[in-house]
Amino acid sequence: MNMSAEFNYIVRVIGKDLDGTKSIELALQGIKGIGQRMGKIIADEFRKENKIDSSRLLGELSESEVKKLEEVIVAPQKHNLPSWTLNRQKDFEEGIDKHLTMNDLAFCLRNDLSRLAEIKSYKGLRHMWGLTVRGQKTKSKHRRKGGAVGVAKKVEVKGKAAPAKKSK
């Protein structure tokens, strides 16, 4: 690693502190909504547009380069990323392809689940009840996820038991 005076160990990208000692694609995976594949695709497109060496670490980027990286993350459609890489293809409300990250992704997921519960779909009801959604068995797994099902344990009540007989 080439640690110069301008090396940043922590780099702030779209409101998230990322590890500057990692490569760009690995560091981007710390952002919610960006996984392995999307991190690699964004990093490759960013390097191609800015003619940056693939061995450079995130902490070696200047402030202007970090801003350009943020632009690619926020609007990947404008930077020629294919639509199949986006996490909201044909969004329910707007009908357009977009890629959400961080709090926007969590908010949109929460809205989707509440909409499914409101229309009382099977998937929405299972989410609402805290049960498995995609057909998994629930007899032995997912014990802590949902409510109690089956026989409840009897509670002993003190003081109501008959007094013990005295022996002679």
* Structural domain boundaries, residue 73: 10-83
18 strand-pairing partners: 11
Does 69 fall in a domain?
A: yes
Give the pLDDT band of residue 99 (cuts 50, 70, 90): confident
Does 78 fall in a domain?
A: yes
Asked whether the predicted pLDDT for residue 11 surpasses 60, the reply is yes
Does 165 fall in a domain?
A: no
What's the average model confidence in pLDDT over 33-42? 91
The predicted pLDDT at position 54 comes to 83
Give the pLDDT band of residue 82 (cuts 50, 70, 90): confident
CATH number at residue 53: 1.10.8.50
CB of 57 closer than 8 Å to CB of 83: no
The predicted pLDDT at position 41 comes to 92
Q: What are 104's two structure tokens?
A: 């926007």
Does 161 fall in a domain?
A: no
The predicted pLDDT at position 101 comes to 86
Per the structure, the count of domains in the chain is: 1
Contacts (Cβ under 8 Å, ≥6 apart) of 18: 10, 11, 12, 27, 28, 30, 31, 58
What's the average model confidence in pLDDT over 63-92? 88
pLDDT in tens, 55-77: 889 888 889 999 999 999 988 88
- Give Cα 147 distance to the centre of its chain: 25
What's the average model confidence in pLDDT over 25-36? 91
Does 57 fall in a domain?
A: yes
Does 14 fall in a domain?
A: yes
pTM: 0.68
